[in-house]
Structure 1
Amino acid sequence: MLENCRNAKERWGGVSDLIDRWLKERQELLVHYCGLSGEADREDLEALQPKFVRLCEVLVDYVSVGHFEIYEQLIQEAREFDDGGVELASRVYPEIEKTTEVALNFNDQIDDQPLTSALVEERFRALSKLGEVLENRFELEDVLIDQLHNAHASKVESA
């Protein structure tokens, strides 16, 4: 039993660090998003284009880490603790997937179309929609983190 406790600490203690790094990436994403959405000069296309590109880079990195690292860890943890987390994940994950589609479509728009004065307002409307979608995504991710990881933290710590 002591060995199982040590294994739990080793396995799930590192997930907290991974989540912390990911949440810092979320913060960086928000900084880029807010900086761009608050941009007053929408006529300086040469200044705007790199800001959209950088936002997309951070956005795609954030989404990728979520899908390929964080969610996998959280679902594995839910399976190990077997306390209803898998069912929660099966309800929440499809909703997160929908936000991923919006984020990737936004990125594709930026990649496929150089910014022109005719596209500026359309791009900012898409940015606004992205903000709404990200807000929803962050709430869903926070539910997963809270229910699939933080709920087990005391069990791991006592191990």
Structure 2
Amino acid sequence: MLTTLEQTQQKWGGSNKLIDQWLNNRRVLLVQYCKIAGLAPYESPGRTLPELEEVKTFCDLLVDYVSEGHFEIYDQVVSTCENISDECKARAHLVIPRISKTTDAALDFNDKYSEAKDEELLYDLDKDLGALMEAMESRFEQEDTLLEIVYTNVAEPAAVVQ
């Protein structure tokens, strides 16, 4: 997922401050995911469960990322599409519901772990992270598709999100 993010940043990075911030927030989210999942370069031979506070930090980042997309990015991108053409608008409106389907997985994960007080809950973490990241990977792909729709139809990338 980090490799795909790097490709996305290479493709659209620097074209718009808000998009850059959003993609950077995706990177921060993915790095925290790697930490709590014990993935490279954060893996350890005698891997133990992450600290509950690390999981809660991930939850905060997750909700912030999902919210930023829904309440800042998508509306502005769709609005830009509406100004470009009916085809661009129609394509964007097909993608948004696919992104929205993944929101429940993020919110369910957050509901389970953000207010957790019992560390025994962490025994479910690997399974729950796997399901969450499957949904988030789909979300990232759809978000990238949304950016692709806009950037292939607009002459000035800085005009995408104002």
- TM-score normalised according to structure 1 size: 0.79
Question: Runs in 1 of length 4+ with deviation above 6 angstroms?
Answer: none
The structural deviation recorded for 1:152 is: 3.6
Is residue 106–residue 126 contact of structure 1 (8 Å, CA) maintained in 2?
A: yes
Is residue 52–residue 122 contact of structure 2 (8 Å, CA) maintained in 1?
A: no
Corresponding position: 1:41 with 2:52: no
Is residue 15–residue 73 contact of structure 1 (8 Å, CA) maintained in 2?
A: no
Q: For 1:70 and 1:62, how far apart are their aligned partners in 2?
A: 10
Q: Secondary structure at the match of 1:114?
A: coil
Q: For 2:19 and 2:122, how far apart are their aligned partners in 1?
A: 35
Deviations 1:42-96 (A, max 9, x none): 2xxxx51001100011111111110011101110000000151221122111111
Tell me how many residue pairs correspond in the alignment. 138
Among all aligned residue pairs of Structure 1 and Structure 2, give the percentage whose two residues are the same amino acid: 38
Question: Unpaired runs of 5+ in structure 1?
Answer: 1-13
Deviations 1:86-139 (A, max 9, x none): 21122111111111111011101013432332x222122111111111111100
Aligned to 1:64: 67
Aligned to 1:134: 136
Corresponding position: 1:151 with 2:152: yes
- TM-score normalised according to structure 2 size: 0.78
Corresponding position: 1:99 with 2:98: no
Structure 2 letter corresponding to 1:57: D
The structural deviation recorded for 1:15 is: 7.6
Q: For 1:95 and 1:114, how far apart are their aligned partners in 2?
A: 33
Structure 2 letter corresponding to 1:151: T
Cα RMSD (Å): 2.1
Question: Unpaired runs of 5+ in structure 2?
Answer: 1-13
Distance 1:86 1:115, change over 3 A: farther
User: Which protein is bigger by CA-based radius of gyration?
Assistant: 1
Q: For 2:72 and 2:103, how far apart are their aligned partners in 1?
A: 15
Aligned to 1:3: none
Aligned to 1:86: 89
Bigger relative CO (Cα 8 Å, ≥ 6 apart): 1
Is residue 33–residue 55 contact of structure 1 (8 Å, CA) maintained in 2?
A: yes
Q: Name the one with the larger helix percent.
A: 1
Q: For 2:90 and 2:118, how far apart are their aligned partners in 1?
A: 43
Corresponding position: 1:125 with 2:120: no
Aligned to 2:118: 115
